[in-house]
Amino acid sequence: MTEERLADRVAEEVLRRLESAGPAALLVGDRPPDALGYHLTAAPPYEAVLIGSLTASELLSFADGRVLEALLRGLPVYLYEGGLRYRAHAATANRSLWARITAAERALRQWGVRFYGADGGRTLITAARARQLLARGGTPPAGALLTPLARELLEGGTRS
């Protein structure tokens, strides 16, 4: 293994461990590929909510009390768009049903749920990505969503 590859692997492991030690987020649904710098949990206390997946039925009758409580408390709520598998049926779905589904998605956005991670989704900057940007002297793209720790890192509050 070359020194460069070893250094990359060590850096990846350090970033992974830093993320797993980050603030807690309640996981709702399936685990998404990116935990956004949060340590995922199934019980309180938590500082954010991460919705990894929703079925069409869950979306149309959305009533997850934990998510609603988090929104009422002003906690960040993120929804991984890759976990919205019903979107694969956009071309074949009944138009009236599809209109209700898109209206339900709009309602979640209006409530403050931050969609991320799939086609058409806004770029999400996690703590790990913020550290990479800082190391390269880069800045996040316009319109990017920043996790709280990423925002703190990029604003210069912490350089860990």
What's the CA gap between 24 and 157, in Å, rounded? 20
Rounded Cα gap, residues 111 and 89, in angstroms: 25
pLDDT of residue 121: 56
CB-based contacts of 147, cutoff 8 Å, min separation 6? 36, 37, 38, 48, 76, 124, 125, 126, 127
Please name which of 26, 123, 142 lies closest in space to residue 76, comparing C-alpha atoms. Answer: 26
The pTM for the full model equals 0.67
Q: Are 81 and 121 in contact (CB under 8 A)?
A: yes
The two three-digit tokens of residue 108, written as one number? 């979640």
Q: Residue 149: what pLDDT? A: 84
Please report, in tens digits, the pLDDT of each residue of the chain (160 residues total): 677 676 667 666 655 554 456 789 999 999 998 878 888 999 999 999 999 999 999 999 999 999 999 999 999 999 999 999 999 999 999 999 999 999 999 999 999 999 988 655 567 788 888 888 888 888 887 777 888 888 888 888 554 5
Vertex 81, ends 25 and 60: CA angle to 5°? 90
Structure tokens at 117: 């991670």
